[in-house]
Structure 1
């Protein structure tokens, strides 16, 4: 892959990390008393079990392959990179996570490539750990929050004025859809990760667009359960863009149909899709950063 434009190296110190927590983690989660112990135990488990298993799998499947170190030096992020970053963000050293991303970026990968092939898969990996009972909701939330901070640091939005006021999301189900679970899970993760969320689960397209007109949102997220919702979803997105108080609002969509056919994202007029609730948090941060670039 060709070398992309190099983002400046973010300056993240311990004091800045503590300040950022107020934006990227809900206070009740961050104050939990056993947080440090659980982070340490979880990071140790990833180091001791997950990464060695991935390395062994590499050797067993391709015994004549070059060493993992040689492969990683020339290829885009793989499972070892993803597990390694997950290990770091389960701790509390944002400086180490920044250095980790810089090393991978210096292979010649753009930040857009790193988002798609490293940061988003890492959020998905954390969600899978939660699904497999390898960690709990708090652990996943803190890990995803630190991935958000990485994005904000490299996109230079972590120091924007009134950052907390801009972290707002309008969540809605496509009119006619009846699948509440996906919206509920995304809402839960967003709020735990420091976002202010307004959810419309029984609104028509006009009502959803009116909500975007009367309040400033950085991002709108909509879910669709089947291809039968495509026309309704496209209409709703069109109305949101037309009436939104934020002319640069980012729109993300979710549902299995977008995983099966990613071209539908552009077809319905959205900016991005997220295959899971943890990745939705990261996608929201990316879209919010893009909006901030227009506002500053």
Structure 2
């Protein structure tokens, strides 16, 4: 979908948002009780940063009457938008997050653009806040879970009867890889955000592919520690696609080599990469939504 396409804006009411809580947050993750403080911080952020930025954009863009492409580039989400959405999803008002995304959609940006330039970077931003001790694991989990809800709601997959069954991920390490930390962190965030995860940390390519054959998975996630793993990873992905019970399985890959060279995603035959564990949760939701579109 291009930047300028205008998909319909979903009609989302409070009952739907509350119902989604059972799908996108694990039972042992609870709501924070500091909503008033977060709303106050958000109000200051909007008044001090967002409104002045909008005024500057108005002054800079309207008089020159730039091309449509230039205007869209100027209005694309920036660090202020990302930080703003992060603050909203750290609170309890998901309706405010919906309105926030709608406002950006009304700039003329597609959901694909918003995923790449707003939602996934917001998940990364939450991970950075956690790394910097600006919030805790529960904060990040709830924030990422709400980003998942936004993505599912705007992609119209939130009302699927088979939503529970489809929220399944096969996580695996590329045969020969010895780096457990990355896959463990992704597994932890996925489970906290309501996904059912099966993890294979010492399996061969055949065993990983057979796991996808014997159980339906929406997404398979594989990690690779170095470029020496590329051939093995590509072989594993090819086997998964050939044997998977889900013919539309989405495959995401992770590891520093993909952050340094995103073109390697296509080289190994994957669909997407995620630069962090919180971002992997959102990428999994996006790939799951794509699979649901084929199945509905």
Distance in 2 between the 1:240 and 1:156 partners? Answer: 27
The count of aligned residue pairs is 284
Distance in 2 between the 1:55 and 1:234 partners? Answer: 47
1:36 is aligned, of 33, 54, 73, to 33
Match of 2:161 in 1: 161
Match of 2:255 in 1: 255
Q: Residues 44-63 of structure 1 correspond to what in structure 2 (within 5 A)?
A: 44-45=40-41, 48=44, 52=48
Contact in 1 for aligned 2:5/2:108 (Cα 8 Å): no
Write out per-residue CA displacement over residues 232-272 of structure 1, whole angstroms, 9 at most, x where no aligned residue: 00000000000000000000000010011010000000000
Distance in 2 between the 1:132 and 1:69 partners? Answer: 34
Match of 1:67 in 2: 56
Contact in 1 for aligned 2:253/2:274 (Cα 8 Å): yes
Match of 1:95 in 2: 95
Distance in 2 between the 1:50 and 1:184 partners? Answer: 36
Write out per-residue CA displacement over residues 124-163 of structure 1, whole angstroms, 9 at most, x where no aligned residue: 1111111111100001011101100111011100001120
Deviates most, 251-260 or 44-53? 44-53
Match of 1:23 in 2: 23
Give the aligned CA root-mean-square deviation in angstroms: 2.3
Distance in 1 between the 2:38 and 2:137 partners? Answer: 13
- Is 1:117 aligned to 2:117, yes or no? yes
Distance in 2 between the 1:294 and 1:2 partners? Answer: 20
Q: Per the alignment, do residues 124 and 51 of structure 1 end up closer, same or farther by CA in structure 2, a change over 3 Å counting?
A: farther
Contact in 2 for aligned 1:51/1:80 (Cα 8 Å): no
Contact in 1 for aligned 2:3/2:113 (Cα 8 Å): no
TM-score, reference length from structure 1: 0.89
Q: Secondary structure of the equivalent of 2:29?
A: helix
Contact in 1 for aligned 2:212/2:244 (Cα 8 Å): yes
Q: Residues 95-244 of structure 1 correspond to what in structure 2 (within 5 A)?
A: 95-244=95-244
Match of 1:62 in 2: none
Distance in 1 between the 2:261 and 2:147 partners? Answer: 26
1:42 deviation in Å?
A: 4.5
1:95 deviation in Å?
A: 1.7
Q: Per the alignment, do residues 71 and 112 of structure 1 end up closer, same or farther by CA in structure 2, a change over 3 Å counting?
A: farther
Deviates most, 232-241 or 107-116? 107-116
Distance in 2 between the 1:109 and 1:164 partners? Answer: 30
Q: Secondary structure of the equivalent of 1:199?
A: strand
For structure 1, the 5+ residue unaligned runs are 59-65
Deviates most, 6-15 or 117-126? 6-15
Contact in 2 for aligned 1:258/1:264 (Cα 8 Å): yes
Q: Secondary structure of the equivalent of 1:275?
A: coil
Match of 2:82 in 1: 82
1:6 deviation in Å?
A: 2.1
